[in-house]
């Protein structure tokens, strides 16, 4: 069967809504196209997610385009592994990024955020996108055992942000991300080398210690290059939480009754609010895999080796799963079933064995800490600004970065 013409331009125009809009128009859950000239099948919905995370049907090796590996993910990292190699490498992350580790990191972040709020009081205006990224970089480096001197905080933060911003970009944004990835790899690689040589001594169990000492299923230490990628796979995704933080601030501004409700300090309300922010707002658009064994599903043939992309954003807003999905309703999570395939802002399936993001618990705890700070730890005003969100820009956020002013610490 002849595939349609390349849809890369349509994907860049449609952005987060490309796959779900086309699937809805066609009345299907799967359709064939080409992206970056590669034959690709796009799938959407909870049922699609369930098969996408079936390791008997799909593999991750070689699925992500090189431009994504050269900017966002790095090469030969955990996201591109399968089988026992993936399980072992994922275990490395989960040994420090479990629920206890997430709570510890959130505590480090909370202390750093309080200190930064005191500084924000001296500023005329604060752009949350940038300011929170700096706090997150400072916190994750401290928690990970990574030395970060004051004079390099902005530089390292900006490099991590550039990696996050680059995969779907064309032109200067993309090349900034590539340069940032090269600098980041060299920095992280040197940290690993110094740790192995005993010249850096991170505390036992910290991320730098764990990555530097990890041995693969062959019993060997990771190469310096791969260890650098995996250390950045702890640092970079944590800094990326700044986008969820900005969306949370926007949600508080647009839903004042929830600001009042969250100020009472109920943890269940805070978690429901965080989950709805993660469902409602666009974070990562798609995940990619390759067909391991050929099969047919919903009238589409999935040949061996074919690239398949799962629409994360569309699945989180699928009206077959979510009542009034275009409405912000945190209450929906107060009796949510916990289905790991219908709610997939950071990937789906099983945390321990599958490709669901190891940092998801960290994201939730840090967002809850931020909400407490925004509702009870500080007062601020939101001036007129451009808060529109472009779905064609990936990753996206309010155009202004969410500016606040007249910040005052409380308590």
- CA-derived radius of gyration, the chain: 21
Whole-number Å distance between alpha carbons of 327 and 317: 10
- The 8-class DSSP code of residue 93 comes to H
What would the pLDDT profile of 346-373 be if each residue is shown by its tens digit? 999 987 778 889 999 999 999 999 999 9
What would the pLDDT profile of 266-300 be if each residue is shown by its tens digit? 889 999 999 999 999 999 999 999 999 999 999 99
Confidence of residue 158 (pLDDT cuts 50, 70, 90): very high
Whole-number Å distance between alpha carbons of 153 and 158: 9
Q: What is the mean pLDDT of the chain?
A: 96
Identify the structural domains of the chain with CATH numbers, from first to last: 8-409 (1.10.630.10)
What would the pLDDT profile of 197-225 be if each residue is shown by its tens digit? 999 999 999 999 999 999 999 999 999 99
Mean pLDDT, range 73-81, rounded to an integer: 96
The model's pTM is 0.96
Contacts of 125 (CB under 8 A, 6+ apart): 383, 403, 404, 405
């Amino acid at each position: 069967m002849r595939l349609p013409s390349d849809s890369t331009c349509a994907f860049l125009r449609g952005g987060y809504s490309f796959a779900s809009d086309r699937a809805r128009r066609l009345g299907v859950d799967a359709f064939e196209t080409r992206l970056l000239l590669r034959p690709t099948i796009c799938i959407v919905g909870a049922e699609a997610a369930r098969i996408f995370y079936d390791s008997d049907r799909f593999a991750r090796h070689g699925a992500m385009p090189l431009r994504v590996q050269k900017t966002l993910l790095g090469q030969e990292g955990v996201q591109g592994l399968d089988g026992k190699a993936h399980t072992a490498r994922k275990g490395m992350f989960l040994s420090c990024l479990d629920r206890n580790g997430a709570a510890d990191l959130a505590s480090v972040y909370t202390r750093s955020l309080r200190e930064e709020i005191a500084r924000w009081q001296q500023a005329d205006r604060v752009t949350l996108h940038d300011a929170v990224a700096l706090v997150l970089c400072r916190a994750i480096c401290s928690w990970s055992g990574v030395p970060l001197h004051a004079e390099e905080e902005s530089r390292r933060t900006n490099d991590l942000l550039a990696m996050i911003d680059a995969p779907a970009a064309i032109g200067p944004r993309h090349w900034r991300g590539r340069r940032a990835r090269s600098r980041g790899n060299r920095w992280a690689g040197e940290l690993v080398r110094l740790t192995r040589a005993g010249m850096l001594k991170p505390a036992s169990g910290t991320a730098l210690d764990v990555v530097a000492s990890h041995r693969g299923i062959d019993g060997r230490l990771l190469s310096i290059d791969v260890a650098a990628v995996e250390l950045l796979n702890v640092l970079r995704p944590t800094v990326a939480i700044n986008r969820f933080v900005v969306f949370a601030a926007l949600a508080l501004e647009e839903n004042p009754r929830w600001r009042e409700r969250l100020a009472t300090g109920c943890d269940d309300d805070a978690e429901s609010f965080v989950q709805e922010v993660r469902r409602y707002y666009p974070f990562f658009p798609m995940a990619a895999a390759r067909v391991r064994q050929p099969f047919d599903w919903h009238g589409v043939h999935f040949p061996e080796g074919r690239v398949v992309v799962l629409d994360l954003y569309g699945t989180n807003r699928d009206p077959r799963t979510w009542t009034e999905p275009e409405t912000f309703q945190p209450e929906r999570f107060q009796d949510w079933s916990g289905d790991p395939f219908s709610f997939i802002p950071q990937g789906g399936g099983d945390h321990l064995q599958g490709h669901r993001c190891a940092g998801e618990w960290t994201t939730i705890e840090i967002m809850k800490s931020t909400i407490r700070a925004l509702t009870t730890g500080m007062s601020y005003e939101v001036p007129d600004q451009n808060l529109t969100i472009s779905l064609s820009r990936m990753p996206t956020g309010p155009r202004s970065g969410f500016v606040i002013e007249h910040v005052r610490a409380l308590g």
